[in-house]
Amino acid sequence: MDHNLYHEIEDKAQILVDSLPYIRDFNQKIIIISFGCSNILTDEEEQEVMRDIALMKSIGMRPIVVHDTKMGHDKFRENKRIAKMIEFCGVKAVGICGIDLQTIHMTLDNDYIPVITPNDIDNEDTPILPEEAAKEIAVSTGAEKVLFLGKEDGIRDDEGHIISQMTCDEVVKMYVAGKFEGRLLQKVTYALQMIEQGVPRVHILGSKMAHALLVEIFSIIGVGTVIMPDKEHYYPHELKKRAAAAK
């Protein structure tokens, strides 16, 4: 076997081994993906995201997708389109318009991925951000984590580097200092509200990197920023890795 090919296979095997503790952690846990990137992804990139979501479902997670709508597109058609894209990857998905918790739970219990377009039933002209809807659903369903997937690729320090892990206190200090603006400010605000209401982790990550969702979920560093209540909220296997790295 070619030497380079062998090392490539070895590296892929190691990735699978490193993912195993997270797969156990998230078995049958609700993971919410707020998909706010319809306007910035190519069709191929969008399909890759759907494959990653299908993989999450296939290995035991219970993903819920909350999405925005492409500029100029009908949100109901967009909802069905995204659900069909996920089903094309070999898992069951169903489109849901609006936040109907009873329907969401019934969908999960029947082994489907709920694909939700935020919609105000009383006033359909009132826009609802996917992040806002994700917050309401996460708190109501007891989600293990929420991933904000979009143009914003995380929280950056003063040198422009993405900060991989932050506590709420650290985020609040940057918030008070006026470090956030625009859509990132909205995401940070919803993240802090969710964690205050019991959601263990919220991630902010960009959508343009290949398999960003999987890398973020299955590694301690990830590709974006994860916000946690405090440093005590690491998973046990993460604490072991941090202790080993500190030696």
For residue 93, the cross-strand partners are: 113
Nearest to 30 by CA among 121, 89, 116: 116
**Which of 59-73, 91-105, 175-189 has the least mean pLDDT?**
59-73
Domains plus CATH for the chain?
3-246 (3.40.1160.10)
State the pLDDT at residue 238: 72
pLDDT, tens digit, for every residue of 217-236? 998 888 999 999 987 777 77
Contact 144, 26 (CB under 8 A): yes
Nearest to 205 by CA among 20, 34, 6: 34
d(CA 109, CA 188): 31
State the pLDDT at residue 2: 60
Return the HEC string of 95-129: EEECCCHHHHHHHHHCCCEEEEECCCCCCCCCCCC
Quickly state the pLDDT bin for 9 (edges 50, 70, 90). low
Quote the pTM value: 0.90
Computed on alpha carbons and rounded to an integer, the radius of gyration of the chain in Å comes to 18
pLDDT, tens digit, for every residue of 154-163? 999 999 999 9
Distance of CA 169 to the CA centre of its chain: 22
DSSP code, position 180: -
On the question of pLDDT at 101 being above 90, the answer is: yes
168 is written with which tokens? 């709420």
148 is written with which tokens? 């904000």
On the question of pLDDT at 247 being above 70, the answer is: no
Which residue's entry shows tokens 């706010």? 36
On the question of pLDDT at 32 being above 90, the answer is: yes
What is the residue-averaged pLDDT of the chain? 88
Quickly state the pLDDT bin for 75 (edges 50, 70, 90). confident
Buried b (16+ CB within 10 A) or exposed e, 197-216: eebbbbbbbbbeeeebbbbb
Burial class (CB within 10 angstroms; exposed 0-12, middle 13-18, buried 19+) of 131: buried
